[in-house]
Amino acid sequence: MMMQLNIWGEPSIKEAEYLVYHDESVPNKQWLLIGLLFVPKKEACILIEKLKYYRQRENYEGEIHFSELPKKFGGEFGAKARVARAWMKPYEDDLHEIAYFSALGVHRGSPAFEHKRFSRDFHAYNRFTAMALKAGIAWHLGPKGYDRLNITFISDAKDRSTSPDPGFRDNFEEYIPYRAELDSYLNRLEGKRYPEVFISDIKLLDSSEEDLIQLTDLLLGATQSALITASRRETKMELAEMVLRWQKDLRNLPWKQNYGLYRKFNIWLFPDEKGRPFNPTNYALENVLRNDQLSFLDQ
């Protein structure tokens, strides 16, 4: 492939700066979920202002955390849930055009999961976060043809459920940049179309002050509820049904999809029985809805 040249006859380098927001969830011993939100740095302010608008509309400034959503949308105490729903709907409509979401579900209950490779939970957590980042760059940003990618990686400082026990040091802040740059080098060494990746900064921030971390948590929580836990709480169920609807649409060929989420919203799992990544086909929420429908018909 011929390299493009600029007007001076020099190689033209296509660069981009992205903010990657990160969240994780451990719903049970069987599963670890990692969520990443890819946002172009120059467009982050647009997204933040949109989220702020829906907060102001409900006059609610508290943290949006999926696990803490109230039971109902109505009334004074339902404001948190109304903001969450208001964020999800424009994400479905158009915000996915500037914020790509990827969720990796690691099935630790799989016979192919190699527990012996990880002496501590945080070792597995860090490795799979790097794996999710590598796959997310390839899937969401690969078609853009970037030569160089500068990433600011942003995670929640106060809610690391896989943080090590006292006496053990988590190397998260050193490992993620090292592994991302190594994966980039190895991909290019193999002749794959993959950008040169630099993680210029890792920021551990308080999620209560960062709406884009909260949006990542919301998308990951709704994904978890659709895929694994299938909460029957009205608010969580409605948001999880949105994710289920998106996933059903994504099963269609790209030109037959209704939501335009191809390469913009993605859920994948690891490992299958052969130790490989795979796409989910069975959703806990789908089973719950099917059983509820059968129960209704039996009445």
In a domain, 28, yes or no: yes
Q: How far apart are CA 43 and CA 27, in angstroms?
A: 32
> What pLDDT, on a 0 to 100 scale, did the predictor assign at position 291?
77
- Which residues, 6 or more positions from 234, have their beta carbon under 8 angstroms from its beta carbon? 71, 72, 73
> What pLDDT, on a 0 to 100 scale, did the predictor assign at position 86?
98
- Say which residue the tokens 């527990």 belong to: 115
In a domain, 263, yes or no: yes
Q: Which domain holds residue 169?
A: 16-293
Q: Strand pairing of 148-156 and 31-40?
A: unpaired
> What pLDDT, on a 0 to 100 scale, did the predictor assign at position 297?
42
Question: pLDDT tens, 4-18?
Answer: 655 566 567 899 999
Dihedral (C-alpha) 221, 225, 131, 159: value to the nearest 10 degrees?
40
> What pLDDT, on a 0 to 100 scale, did the predictor assign at position 122?
85
Two tokens, residue 86:
């208001």
In a domain, 5, yes or no: no
In a domain, 10, yes or no: no
Q: How far apart are CA 4 and CA 275, in angstroms?
A: 39
In a domain, 26, yes or no: yes
Dihedral (C-alpha) 197, 201, 205, 207: value to the nearest 10 degrees?
-20
Dihedral (C-alpha) 275, 124, 229, 204: value to the nearest 10 degrees?
-140
- Say which residue the tokens 């955390």 belong to: 65
In a domain, 2, yes or no: no
- Say which residue the tokens 């380098």 belong to: 13
| Element housing 14 (H / E) | none
Question: pLDDT tens, 106-139?
Answer: 999 999 999 889 888 888 999 999 999 999 999 9
Q: How far apart are CA 14 and CA 3, in angstroms?
A: 11
* pLDDT < 70: residue spans in the chain: 1-11, 158-169, 292-299
In a domain, 125, yes or no: yes
Provide the whole-model pTM: 0.92
> What pLDDT, on a 0 to 100 scale, did the predictor assign at position 223?
98
In a domain, 22, yes or no: yes
> What pLDDT, on a 0 to 100 scale, did the predictor assign at position 230?
77
* C-alpha pair distances (Å), 240 with each of 126, 276, 279: 26, 26, 18
Instruction: Of 124, 114, 101, 116, give the one whose Cα is nearest residue 26.
Output: 124
Q: How far apart are CA 222 and CA 244, in angstroms?
A: 9
DSSP string, 229-264: I---SHHHHHHHHHHHHHHHHHTS-GGG-SS--TTT
CA angle 49-53-56, nearest 5°? 130
Domain count, the chain: 1
Instruction: Of 161, 33, 216, give the one whose Cα is nearest residue 107.
Output: 33
**CATH code, domain carrying 256:** 3.30.420.10
